[in-house]
Chain A
């Protein structure tokens, strides 16, 4: 795969993850279980949207078609999105939201840490900023997963159900394809598979403290990061998110 095409794909993968997850988290605004969580969730969403601006901004630049990060966010249809299926899964209850966040953060931190050594300076610079935020997110989400897993009988059952529901989407984070091969070759990004061992170690540590049981590893559910088959959830998310740009084409806000 040509380096530039692969690079563009990679930037979409990074930016779409943060865009879609940031959007999902922002759906909580004003409805969290406790005021401190309203603030924390808004803060997480804010960080993720900020990262989106950087990744998609660079993607638009690399694409070289005169587009902006906003064009990419608001004017692509579902099949053009390259986010992991995990991040488009619905919020569910607070436990499901935090479990999704934890699983993503645990991968995101490793990915960003590796990207700080990217051969592309722009990527390394974005990663250096984002990794600080992601590390903080991981501390918080891991702590909450532990607190709720090892809380009451009800909170434990809800967290286990969330893990069981979301775990099949974890495998996609570590599937490698031709895009990844080209990126590894160019020294831009790590091989996804190379991050698995450390991810599994983080998971084992946190889940054991949370008294939660890792479900049996089924076939990884993929199709998001290569755009082949998203879930039905993504279209509804885009319908909301893209409404203004679709309804009032060309207007500036």
Chain B
């Protein structure tokens, strides 16, 4: 997902007996479905895990501007250009809401940005894949935003108030993005032979990276168990991946495109598709920084930040001067 493999602190979920009275009261509030607000008492592990998760999610929105921004100047029509611009602008807005949510936990946006830029914090593996043709704008909206929605819809009910509220705003826009992506795919799938080939190629390249977005199977992960107990992770990775496949395969059929998986088969018994796992070795390489675009993505963000330093400093200096002049006048 946008937040993959977020480590929670500690070694596992504590039993009631192991918890301090504060921890037990906190867990009881969560179990009762109450929202935790920034000023409330919370275990240090809860706070740290949330910072990692929300921060990673925010960074994903920001880095996620790059693969789509890559096609804004080449969009084939004025309308497509406007839609794509609006979408990328939304993603920057999502980044902003999420940084604000994380800031309520006591970490500033600038600190988080520094951690992204020097590699201490991660962003979703999906944005390390290149966008090579216009069809990729369709595939990204359809599959990537589609996968993001799978995760973010349940997170609207997450236990941390500011995160939950950010997710509610984000989800409204994400479903637009997915529809627009699907619409691009549809135009191409119903278009000429070249367009169809382009659409199929985009699906071929994005299918497995999209499945990786949910992270590796987490049935044995202690981190996941703790996050689920805290209601900052609402479903297992496998549950969400299955849901995504079940939703997406009929859509691909509708488009007349084939999912690049020979093992894909409807399983009547489980009421879902059987499908091939993505290449997890590739996933871990991408997470480690060895994906197709990791270097370029981080370099682009670093360049934007470094080139912008004089602008941020200039505007700050001006605000300072204005304040001083106002003080002097009073």
Q: Nearest CB to that of B64 among chain A residues?
A: A30
Beyond A29-B72, A49-B81, A240-B74, is A38–B65 a contact (Cβ under 8 Å)? yes
**CA–CA, A101 and B77, complex, Å:** 24
* Interface positions of B from 51 to 75, Cβ below 8 Å from A: 62, 65-66, 69, 72-75
B142 to A: closest C-beta gap in Å: 15
Q: Is the CB of B308 within 8 A of A30?
A: no
Known: A29-B65, A38-B92, A50-B82. A151 touches B73 (CB 8 A): no
**Is the pair A34, B88 in contact by a Cβ cutoff of 8 Å?**
no
CA distance A154 to B88 in the complex (A): 31
Establish whether residues A33 and B78, one from each chain, have CB atoms under 8 Å apart when the complex forms. Answer: no
Q: Give bound CA distance, A39 to B74, whole Å.
A: 20
Question: What separation, in Å, do the CA atoms of A101 and B257 have in the docked complex?
Answer: 44
B195 near A248: Cβ-Cβ < 8 Å: yes
Quick one: closest A residue to B297, CB to CB? A30
CB under 8 Å from chain B, chain A span 1-54? 19, 23, 26-27, 29-39, 42-43, 45-46, 49-50, 52-53
Closest to B86 in A: A46
If the complex has contacts A151-B318, A251-B191, are A240 and B73 also in contact, measured as CB distance less than 8 A?
yes
A240 vs B304: C-alpha distance in the bound complex, in angstroms? 22
Residue in A33, A53, A73 whose beta carbon sits within 8 Å of that of B311 in the complex: A33
| Contact A251 B315, CB 8 Å, known A39-B96, A49-B81, A53-B79 | no
The complex places the Cα of A94 from the Cα of B85 at a distance, in Å, of 19
Instruction: Name the distance in Å between A233's Cβ and chain B's nearest Cβ.
Output: 14
Cβ < 8 Å to A, chain B residues 128-150: 134
Whether A35 contacts B85 by the Cβ 8 Å rule is no
Known A49-B85, A150-B318, A253-B134; contact A248-B78, beta-carbon cutoff 8 A: no
A184 and B303 CA atoms in complex are apart in Å by 48
**For B184, what are the chain A residues with a Cβ–Cβ distance below 8 Å?**
253
CB A16 to nearest CB in B, in angstroms, measures 13
Q: Report yes or no: B92 in contact with A35, Cβ–Cβ below 8 A.
A: yes
CB pair A155–B81 under 8 Å, yes or no, is no
Q: A38-B65, A53-B78, A240-B74 known; A146 and B312 CB under 8 Å?
A: no
B304-325 interface code vs A (CB 8 A; 1 in, 0 out): 1101111111111111010000
Selected contact of B85 from candidates A29, A158, A243, CB within 8 Å: A29
Closest residue of A by beta carbon distance from B310 = A154
The CA-CA distance from A50 to B9 in the complex, in Å, is 49
A152 surroundings in chain B (CB, below 8 A): 310, 313-314, 317
Q: Are A34 and B311 in contact (CB under 8 A)?
A: yes
* Known contacts A70-B77, A151-B318; A33 and B312 CB within 8 A of each other: yes
Complex CA distance for A63 and B322, rounded to whole angstroms: 52
- B187 contacts the other chain (CB 8 A): yes
Q: How far is the CA of A253 from the CA of B79 in the complex (A)?
A: 10
Among A53, A243, A245, A251, chain B packs the most CB atoms within 10 A around the CB of A251
Residues of B within 8 A of A37 (CB): 308, 311
Other-chain residue from B191, B316, B319 in contact with A252 (beta carbon distance below 8 A):
B191
Given known contacts A26-B81, A33-B307, is B89 in contact with A39 (CB within 8 Å)? yes
A193 in the interface (beta carbon within 8 A): no
Q: Which of B285-317 contact A (CB under 8 A)?
A: 300, 303-305, 307-317
Is there a chain B Cβ closer than 8 Å to A148's Cβ?
yes
Q: Which residues of A sit under 8 angstroms from B310, Cβ to Cβ?
A: 152, 154-155, 158
Q: Does B304 lie within 8 Å of A30, measured CB to CB? A: yes
Contacting pair B300 A31 (CB below 8 A):
yes
Are B85 and A31 touching (Cβ within 8 A)? no
Please give, as numbers and ranges, the residues of chain A lying within 8 Å of B192 by CB-CB distance. Answer: 248, 251
Nearest neighbor of A56 in chain B, beta-carbon distance: B78
- Which one of B81, B187, B315 contacts A151 once the chains associate, using CB atoms below 8 Å? B315
The 8 tightest CB contacts between A and B, nearest first, are A33-B308, A155-B314, A151-B314, A30-B65, A42-B89, A244-B76, A29-B69, A30-B69
27 A-B residue pairs with Cβ-Cβ distance under 8 Å, sorted by A, are A26-B72, A26-B85, A29-B88, A30-B62, A30-B66, A34-B308, A35-B92, A35-B96, A38-B65, A38-B92, A39-B93, A42-B89, A46-B82, A49-B82, A69-B78, A70-B77, A70-B78, A147-B319, A150-B321, A151-B318, A158-B310, A240-B73, A241-B73, A244-B74, A244-B75, A251-B191, A251-B195
